[in-house]
Chains A and B, each alone.
Chain A
Amino acid sequence: MIQYLVRRLLWAIPVLLAIMVVTFFLARAIPGGPFDFAGEKQLPESIRKNLERKYGLDLPMYVQLGRWIWDSFRFDFGPSYASRSQTVNDILKRTFPISFQLGVLALLFALCVGVPLGTIAAVKQNSIVDYGATFMAILGVSMPTMVTGPLLMWVFALILGWLPAARWGTDYTQLYLGFFPNILSGKFWLHAILPAITLGLAYSASIARLTRASLLQVIREDYIKTAYAKGLPARRTIILHGLRNSLIPVATVLGPMFAGIVTGSLVVEQIFGIAGMGKYFVISITNRDYPMIMGSVLVYSVLLVAANMLVDVSYAWLDPRIRYD
């Protein structure tokens, strides 16, 4: 197992290097440079030259690429072109914890709703409960967050007045270890409910569908019949023997899903006015903010590689027959 992990870790290095090189050239391949315009105003040639000199864009491509890779290994992602008083490190350090908190809550919500819903639907296959759950799942998948977000806000903040309309309940200067919110604070939870549910709903639906499909397959297996035959109660059979095995496909999608969800969702962050990372992912591209594009893609890639590794490890726990030696 350890050997396997070390091998995977070593493999991650060329993978990340390749991603960095490709991102570097892709970002520069988009037409239009970062300093061609200020708002709608085209900047004079002389001004653009000053800016390009300041940020080293007048250097040959291979020098820029070399510097970027070297600096990245020292965890220095450079200045942000769009917000000149901050570095990309500042921005990531600030926004990633917020997106992570929101993402983890949303993912927990998605799992807590999705797995039971899928299980019930599978157990009561083709009953009214199944159809109801499937209907909910399809609704959840097809309703975009830009509809559910304002809808939830309208009902729970404006009409009922139970929850604040927008914004995150804690700021990055007050995080424990620079990362964790004060979970004893009521304000944090009040602000977290709506965005976490909005983001989680969409994911819960796909988790439910996956759980249902996979569980349906598993409960037809011989060993489940054996479990029933030797007189195990249904609940114990399904949860202990059936569900655990049927979670392998769920765990597989959970890896990339985790990487995606904790690096932020532009739509949910924008609707609820949350200062997360999702916005920078998109805005950096419209701004042609090269260091920000490359920095956020790198963070996402590292998370993706790490999450996939965790998933592989979890296989061994979910199904002891899987071994990596």
Chain B
Amino acid sequence: MRLSRFAAVLLVGLLAWPVLGQVILNRNLGTEPPSADPAISTDTTSIEIIEHMFLGLVDLDENTMAPVPELATRWEVSEDGLTWTYYMRNDVIWVKYDPQQGKVVPDLDANGQRRSVTAYDVEYGVKRTIDPNTASDYAYVLYIIKGAYEANTADPTSPDFPALMDAVGVKALDAFTVQFTLEAPAGYFGQIASMWVARPQPKWAIDAHGDAWIEPENIVTNGSYAMKSWIHNDSMVFVRNPYLPDELWGGGNIDEVHCVMVVEASTEFAMYLNNELDTAGVPLPEMDRVKADPVLSKELTIRPYPCTYYYGFITTKKPTDDVRVRKALSMAIDRQTLIDQVTKGNQLPANTFAGGTIFGNAALDPRIAPWALPENLGGWGYDKAVTEAQNLMKDAGYPDGEGLEIVLMHNVSEGHARIAQAIQAMWASAFPKAKFTIETQEWRVYLQTISKETPIENMPNVYRLGWCQDYPDENNWVHEVFNPTYGNNDPRMSPDDPQVGQYVAEFDRLTYEAGRLSDPDQRAAMYFEAERLLVDEIVAIAPIYYYTQIYVAKPWLTRRNHDTPHWDTWTIDAELKAQG
């Protein structure tokens, strides 16, 4: 080999070496994460990055949604279900990215010692979420912990406030054992313990930097990836944490994750086609093309996702104060056609509020609202449902919809408008003499309008909303959203309702009590009945479809599916990627 040629090869090799050595994932987060602080985050983007930076006591199995060990290797629940003790591993340390050394390094204390992730960090994290000075949006999720409600709602300047904080039922028994005391035996506390609001947090970093402790120059983490940079509203880079114990690593091979924050779905898709992203969502107008394309259709994945799209009925406003009208309207929605023609994401028609992976759900069980399901899923099918709907409407005094006036409201969005127009057309053909009006409002104004404070004359009859889980348990669904006493109860269900009052009272009782029991079978049976009352007897809502997650991934990327992505389980075939 001639010397110059050798030199050239050497040079190219040296230049390419750092690039070839690292496996890099290019991902679009879709938006700027509003936060990376476990105590205050509420949205899926923030939670995705928190999932990788902060370990929980437990994680959730991606299929069964049961708690599995993470920081805690085992846990015990007392006989009465009130005391939960978690025994933690002692080999996880706090780390940070050091730009000088260009790598992830252990975070050292004043004596130069590595800091372990301890039970004290858990106690501090939970109490910080509950502390009213933190003003966490999701502190209420922890109200099941003894004393949490009292502390969170106290005036932090009052003299007895420190005592209230001390009384909160979370205590580090020693460096690696943490104990929770609950208000009531809650069977779902295992799921709560997996949530970001209950994760260990680094007190020293938060004390030093305040709300800015999550900025890349300040942040200290313990999860599978550490934050290298965060250029707000533009990009983030995460680097694999080499100090993570092997058992906690998900088995993937990605060293660095380069995230961008492109909002526009069509731009994201263009970047994917241009190989600037390894995986991306699919814009709705492109769905038909992607499904038909021989290459793209192989890169497409559609999987269930724990969110539900629904229409709610205001049960105190004429004419939807009549349960027959509500039921007829719900029946006359052809869910399968809507999915095939409008939403196009292989969603499943919904006959209950909570979908397939949530504990206690009864999704697609034809014993509940069989009229919402097509025949191949064991339901009635639309023809039978619409006939029955017309009979109900006649009973209610609106033959063919004569004299019926319904206002349907949704927030301004192209997608919601398409769905509303399709449903309006279905209703108009089922009840040709009725008048269906669609109204739209800007998001926050809309939320204000449908809340309980709005006078009834300003309310629509039907409103649109969706719900996504915070934790996979019916308590987060039927209870927190619809319980007439403790939940949001946007439909304004009341036990005084002349037609369905007794069902509402029963629904109230079931959803409240099931959240304070530990026996899984008993809880599941109660939630089944609660779902049946909500959708089939009270008909406070018309569930429409269970969401799906839709994405394309390049052939070199293997994504393991979690509802919250786990990058540490993903693998990239670097050779294949280099070939493009």
Contact = CB atoms under 8 A, between A and B. Distances in A.
B270 A153 contact: yes
Contact of B211 (A49, A84, A270): A84
A76 interface: no
Contact of A40 (B35, B149, B465): B465
A166 B270 contact: yes
A7 interface: no
A49 B135 CA distance: 8
A16 B466 CA distance: 42
B135 A51 contact: yes
B111 interface: no
B274 A36 contact: no
Nearest to B140: A44
Contacts of A79: 211
A85 B156 CA distance: 22
Contacts of A55: 135
Interface in B114-136: 132-136
B445 interface: yes
Contacts of B448: 31-32, 36
B263 A270 contact: yes
B139 A50 contact: yes
Given A37-B447, A39-B43, A166-B262, A83 B270 contact: no
Interface string A32-69: 10011111111110110111011100000000000000
Contacts of A158: 270, 273-274
Nearest to B270: A165
A171 B152 CA distance: 40
Given A47-B136, A53-B132, A273-B263, A31 B152 contact: no
Contacts of A46: 140, 149, 152-153
Given A50-B139, A94-B232, A172-B231, A273 B267 contact: yes
Nearest to B271: A165
Interface string B133-149: 11111111000000001
Interface residues of A, number: 54
Interface size class of B (residues with CB under 8 A): 35 or more
Contacts of A91: 232
A87 to B, nearest CB: 9
B215 interface: yes
B439 interface: no
Nearest to A83: B34
A243 interface: no
B467 A40 contact: yes
Contacts of B133: 50, 54
Interface string B194-216: 00000000000000000111110
23 contacts: A31-B445, A38-B138, A39-B468, A47-B140, A50-B133, A50-B136, A53-B156, A55-B135, A85-B214, A95-B233, A150-B270, A154-B270, A157-B274, A161-B274, A165-B276, A166-B262, A166-B270, A173-B229, A270-B267, A271-B264, A273-B262, A273-B267, A275-B234
